[in-house]
Structure 1
């Protein structure tokens, strides 16, 4: 094109469109319009009118160079070197993923929630982490649109952070509320103090984040992507293990201890991961778990909240340490105070029997974080699984055939399992594995409502339960015990009527 005399913007646009169509470029009209606009300095809308504006040799040469890159398969966004995201125009190149409309939906959900939170709580600052920030699209949009947001943007790629830094430099005054941190997910934030505090004050960010947002890798290693993506965009930002869930799994697991109570988790996910991720978040004890669609109507965004009223993360961590060490822990549960020990440790379960002065031959129910843990312990038919999905977490205990033969302690072939309603309790169980779910009392005695009183009434050595973390303090709410249902047969059999009405306990029709 550069050799033609009197070339107009309209000629350039039409010529590029023909070239791209003949070269098999996806959406040739869009590429032609945007490249012609970039080369000429006109707007894309002006280019679409194919005006007779004369082109200089420099403009045509610029267009030719960009056209050659586009014909070679390079994404249009990288060819142009910039791309719009919500209200921002961002520099983009191969150091980071191209910002897409799906991610605008993610950012929008977080921004709308943050604005509502600021208004409702009448606060002057909210703390937000954007994990795997790439070019900075989510982090910078939040800082730009939520003046009260202090944003911590992380990425393990130094190149991606350099690109985000370049975009940050053009953000204006909002840039003072964004900081960049290198490292894997939350590792990048370990030891990071809140820069909004006064001089000499240092408060780590753990349990201080009002929102955590991310567009993590979610493509399975064996999946085949379009060549334009696979060849040009950074693979580390695309692929996430055999099932595509390794990054999402890490963030869902660890965000629990970084969010404030009531804090929000927003993650972009693959369109076929909605059900799996929703179950994952439920087992981790989040509440309000939902999957939001993208603009095309596909499952795209996990939204979940850390419950408001629950123990601090360090309390959960200490209890988890005791359970991993084979000790038992007393805590208020859904109705009564319970005594928990790791079910996989037969000696620990035996010590629970001793503390309760309860015969070892009497089975006790086991608490699980959700169906995934239940499946490791018992055999559930599709109908029984559907029953669990309907009533878990909550007051339903399913008695099913135990995997691996009789229980080593009580010797029976069946086991009762339940997913508790309390989110923090599922969080703890998700950390350590299934635990005993029996009341914290001596056999035949009433169970005190206070966890401390319940622990004191057990048959233990003096001072044994006073160790930090052996008791999660609080009052049990009381109420109706769980409904117990035998699902070993073709029809459910209600063994004890409780929180779930008997008429609701039925296998769904095929």
Structure 2
């Protein structure tokens, strides 16, 4: 890149390079990287007439890393999620836009409970919290909720700790199958974005995720449903009768994911939901009254 090149020309050249490298959104990524480097809002990037030589050099280095399929969010250090901004980087799963729908469902459930006259604060548990994205969004949009989050991986937990600092969310380092035992039968909403990729699907995973996201956050047994089975058992322990659970899944699991809850027993209103592109994306279910579900000892 030559000195004094126009901002538009720099962005166009970067987008072309990213497109050749197979990046899914080359123009937007090129713009976001330049806005990040220059410290300007994305909406004002068009006002940048010229990029100085030292800035061009730094930008070229960022574009090269993105062309090598390093996640965009690792380069900027942040990821937008609903109305909050999260710190992300190596060691934590980068939250995806599709998960905002699951978070929105959990928020709606908590808001409905919080809006009842004389009601207690809703209790929400986010299992497999990763960066803390869903827990942070719930705490942000339902400020009176009591929000708990659990993460197994120490590296991801450190990112969640950073993102949830000062939010009032209680964060635990531990296994979703055993943590928060003191909340048995007291939780209103359990939400989870578990790992759900089958081990055999390794080669089909996007390079950004396969090479940079923690594998603990991606893969879950031969059919991708092992973590969801654990969730179905654990949510039945944590939820009060009539409480609800929601979990993300792969778009090819629109039938198999709901079947996990049906086969587990004790769940009613098992419903699968699509994302904005019409693809199956997350399943929700309601815990049946105690008289119609397995005893706690059978699901621990």
TM > 0.5:
yes
Structure 2 CA distance, aligned partners of 1:305 and 1:21?
Answer: 44
> How far does residue 276 in structure 1 lie from its aligned partner after superposition?
2.4
Contact 1:39–1:60 under 8 Å retained in 2: no
TM-score (norm 2): 0.92
Structure 1 CA distance, aligned partners of 2:296 and 2:20?
Answer: 59
1:75 aligned to which of 51, 63, 71:
71
Contact 1:102–1:294 under 8 Å retained in 2: yes
Using CA pairs under 8 Å that are at least 6 residues apart, name the structure with larger relative contact order, 1 or 2: 2
Structure 2 CA distance, aligned partners of 1:123 and 1:113?
Answer: 14
Structure 2 CA distance, aligned partners of 1:52 and 1:215?
Answer: 39
Q: How many residues align?
A: 296
> How far does residue 61 in structure 1 lie from its aligned partner after superposition?
3.5
1:304 paired with 2:285, answer: yes
Give runs of aligned pairs for residues 176-325 of structure 1, distance below 5 A. Answer: 177-190=168-181, 204-223=182-201, 224=203, 225-283=205-263, 284-307=265-288, 309-310=289-290
> How far does residue 52 in structure 1 lie from its aligned partner after superposition?
4.7
| Unmatched tracts of structure 1, length 5 or more | 191-203, 312-422, 433-510
Aligned to 1:345: none
Q: Alpha carbons of 1:21 and 1:278: their partners in 2 closer, same or farther (altered >3 Å)?
A: closer
Query: Is the radius of gyration larger for structure 1 or structure 2?
Result: 1
- After superposition, the C-alpha distances for 1:175-197 in whole angstroms (9 at most, x for unaligned) are 1x20110111132323xxxxxxx
> How far does residue 43 in structure 1 lie from its aligned partner after superposition?
2.2
Structure 1 CA distance, aligned partners of 2:216 and 2:249?
Answer: 16
| Unmatched tracts of structure 2, length 5 or more | none
> How far does residue 228 in structure 1 lie from its aligned partner after superposition?
2.4
1:7 aligned to which of 2, 5, 8:
5
> How far does residue 429 in structure 1 lie from its aligned partner after superposition?
11
> How far does residue 114 in structure 1 lie from its aligned partner after superposition?
0.9
1:21 paired with 2:12, answer: no
Contact 1:77–1:98 under 8 Å retained in 2: yes
Contact 1:131–1:154 under 8 Å retained in 2: yes
1:106 paired with 2:76, answer: no
Contact 2:82–2:100 under 8 Å retained in 1: yes
Structure 2 CA distance, aligned partners of 1:88 and 1:153?
Answer: 17
> How far does residue 134 in structure 1 lie from its aligned partner after superposition?
0.6
Which has the larger helix fraction?
2
Structure 1 CA distance, aligned partners of 2:23 and 2:254?
Answer: 32
Secondary structure, aligned partner of 1:109: helix
Structure 1 CA distance, aligned partners of 2:114 and 2:140?
Answer: 15
Give runs of aligned pairs for residues 446-457 of structure 1, distance below 5 A. Answer: none
Contact 1:156–1:183 under 8 Å retained in 2: yes
Secondary structure, aligned partner of 2:149: strand
Q: Alpha carbons of 1:238 and 1:428: their partners in 2 closer, same or farther (altered >3 Å)?
A: same
Deviating above 6 A after TM superposition, structure 1's stretches of 4 or more consecutive aligned residues are none
> How far does residue 277 in structure 1 lie from its aligned partner after superposition?
2.7
Aligned to 2:33: 35
Structure 2 CA distance, aligned partners of 1:7 and 1:212?
Answer: 52
Once superposed, what is the RMSD of the aligned Cα atoms?
A: 2.1
TM-score (norm 1): 0.55
2:133 aligned to which of 114, 132, 137:
137
Contact 2:4–2:53 under 8 Å retained in 1: no
> How far does residue 62 in structure 1 lie from its aligned partner after superposition?
3.0
